[in-house]
Structure 1
Amino acid sequence: MRVRGRLRWGRRARIGAVLAALLTGVVTPAVLLTPGAAGAAGAGAPVCQIRDDRLKEISGMVATDDGYVVVNDGADDEARRRIFFLDQRCAVVRTVSYPSQPRDTEDLAIGRDGTVWVADIGDNDRSRTTVAVWRLAPGKDKPVLHRMAYPDRPHDAEALLLDSDGQPLIVTKGGSGTVFLYAPSIALRPGATTPLAPAGQVSLPMTDTSNPFSFIGRGVVTGAANAPDGRRVVLRSYADAFEYDVPDGDVVKALTSGTPRITPLPDEPQGESITYSRDGGSLLTVSESADQPPGTRPTILRYPATDGPVTAGHPTGSAGPVSPTAVRPIAEDTIGLGGRPWLLAAGGGTLLGLLALAGVLWWRHTARP
């Protein structure tokens, strides 16, 4: 999801953010920190720079034996609406077109057999009746479309994982640190709409990692990836990577009952992509560059994959069918600035909700240059 109108963090903007957090009850020590107070978190090591002008809104990436595969998010320009294959130097060596126009491609996943899955699951306005995945088999030049429908209401999502059977698992974007998992309830079939079923919920640990969106950027999931050996999965926010062990192949169980290790991803311009290196020893990320200063190119960054004791203090989710309306986050896509007001008030018409919304609207107004 491209954030339109980047947030500029001045003193008044931080005060507004803290006011909104206090009013909505989402105040933690991390909220009260300035954007530069991330402690010892270090930037990733550059791997290669993507110089193709068509790749300015990269929202998904996977690593292959030969290089990388990337996609832009939903782009109006047909030239950018492709699946891009890169070599190890980040040069485009092949593109694959879609047989019909996708709506909003947000993430990639790669199966153990090399199948590439494109997650067409973005929905900033939460208005889609169906979402989809595109399945590109190894060596093929035409992805196959599989439509899916949520059982409750539309969700904005930017992250895709594969379960132990190689089937897609959608992770919603969230907004206050709580995200929901959805999986197909029956086998996917081309030409049919497959019902999705809720699989559980995950609450991200709170961090204080510096990022362009402050505490809000720490509470959304913008990408995900499976390790090549299937024994780990990772979720990312705009600020951090959260790695979960998958000892028995059950990805949902790992996410809903496991405790993640945290890798800070500080100050990436707009980090929406993450994958594992082919040897599983590193996490690789790349940011969108569309709203960056002229001449800025997306650069793949490398971070060491975590190993050893977990750094969070408790499990972060719950398994089984969980209704998103039962535990409603402050908002899904709280930093989607595409014309909708921020839906921060879970309490709707309560005075607290109105005060919270007023605080955030004041923050948005004073944060502009």
Structure 2
Amino acid sequence: MVRGVRAVVGVAVVLPFLVGAASGVDAPGRPVLRFQDPDVVESSGLALVDGLLVTTNDSGDSGRVFAVDPATGETVGTTSWTPDPEDVEALAPAGPGHVWVADTGDNQRRRGSVEVLRVPVGRGDVVASPERFELVWPDGARDAEALLAHPVTGQLFVVTKGVFAGAVHAAPLPLLSDRPNRLVEVAEAPGLVTDAAFLPGGGALVLRTYTNAHVVAHPSWESLGWWELPPQDQGEGLTVAGGELWLSTEGARSQVLAVDLPPAAAAADLAGPAWSAWRWLATARGLPL
């Protein structure tokens, strides 16, 4: 794992002032919508797909996701499937008209492998037979409530939820549906991560806990700072909407809140791809990193 500030033209100018720059930007939440559907009672994951806000209930629900009109909070489409999942905890964008559904929860640490499903979403009610992919933990069962999908490569990352610390695990690329896919630990994570999302350029991501948001560079996985989120009873969901984060919480008719992303996060999002390009060029030419 690569650490430290890079002395790279066009990147070193940005990275030094990012560390800690996002800290202390305590953001009051602005209401975006209130879920109107009485079946949305434990919003645990969020994803924006084709202008619709997709959410899913926490553990104990059947296999289904809800497509919500952000202008009204009304559910305009539901996708359901069988068999029912064990414990759905997160969503991530999976291309036009689809989301990744993370059946990765495991409070009792009993599951040596978990599952992600690529589920179609949109307006109208659909019964689907989604693609399923088994993910195998490298060193025993873990509880995970956050799923990331890189916006450029499509690679999936699962973030475990430890009390004091967690870990980011990378899935193989491409995923295979006919055999288990072994996860590889690639980075540390804060404790009690409940959701996560990449920024649009793929050069940075945000990990949320019940109380804070953490900005992390990609592909270095360096922490760039954190700030406090507005209070929510059980803050679980997170998605990126332009220059904002949208946040959901469990509870019937719960409200989705918006907070602004710090400018440093957008700068990191641009710096990440620049560093990736430089690293590839330097490796190809045998230059020191």
Counterpart position of 1:102: 85
8 Å CA contact retained: 1:261, 1:306:
no
Shift of 1:263: 3.1
Aligned counterparts, 1:102-141, within 5 A: 102-137=85-120, 141=128
Shift of 1:181: 1.5
Q: Over residues 304-345 of structure 1, what are the superposed CA-to-partner deviations in whole Å (9 max), with x where a residue is unaligned?
A: 0111389xxxxxxxxxxxxxxxxxxxxxxxxxxxxxxxxxxx
8 Å CA contact retained: 2:43, 2:57:
yes
Q: Over residues 21-74 of structure 1, what are the superposed CA-to-partner deviations in whole Å (9 max), with x where a residue is unaligned?
A: xxxxxxxxxxxxxxxxxx983430001100211111111001234220001112
Counterpart position of 1:158: 145
Distance, in Å, in 1 between the alignment partners of 2:224 and 2:263 is 11
Change (3 A) 1:184 1:41: closer
Judge which range, 153-162 or 42-51, deviates more.
42-51
Counterpart position of 1:287: 249
Change (3 A) 1:46 1:101: same
Distance, in Å, in 1 between the alignment partners of 2:83 and 2:145 is 20
Distance, in Å, in 1 between the alignment partners of 2:120 and 2:45 is 17
Aligned counterparts, 1:1-369, within 5 A: 41-76=26-61, 78=62, 81-88=63-70, 89-137=72-120, 141-163=128-150, 164-176=152-164, 178-185=165-172, 187-202=174-189, 204=190, 219-246=191-218, 250=219, 253=220, 255=221, 258-277=222-241, 280-289=242-251, 297-308=253-264
Secondary structure (helix, strand or coil) at the match of 1:59 reads strand
Secondary structure (helix, strand or coil) at the match of 2:263 reads coil
Counterpart position of 2:7: none
8 Å CA contact retained: 1:96, 1:142:
no
**Structure 2: 5+ residue runs without aligned partners?**
1-23, 267-289
Shift of 1:195: 1.6
The TM-score, its normalising length taken from structure 1, stands at: 0.60
Amino acid aligned to 1:143: P
Amino acid aligned to 1:66: G
Change (3 A) 1:165 1:302: same
Amino acid aligned to 1:287: T
Counterpart position of 2:277: none
Change (3 A) 1:100 1:111: same
Q: Over residues 129-160 of structure 1, what are the superposed CA-to-partner deviations in whole Å (9 max), with x where a residue is unaligned?
A: 22010112577843211111112110001001
Which structure would you say has the larger Rg?
1
Amino acid aligned to 1:231: G
Change (3 A) 1:92 1:309: closer
Shift of 1:111: 3.6
RMSD: 2.3
The TM-score, its normalising length taken from structure 2, stands at: 0.75
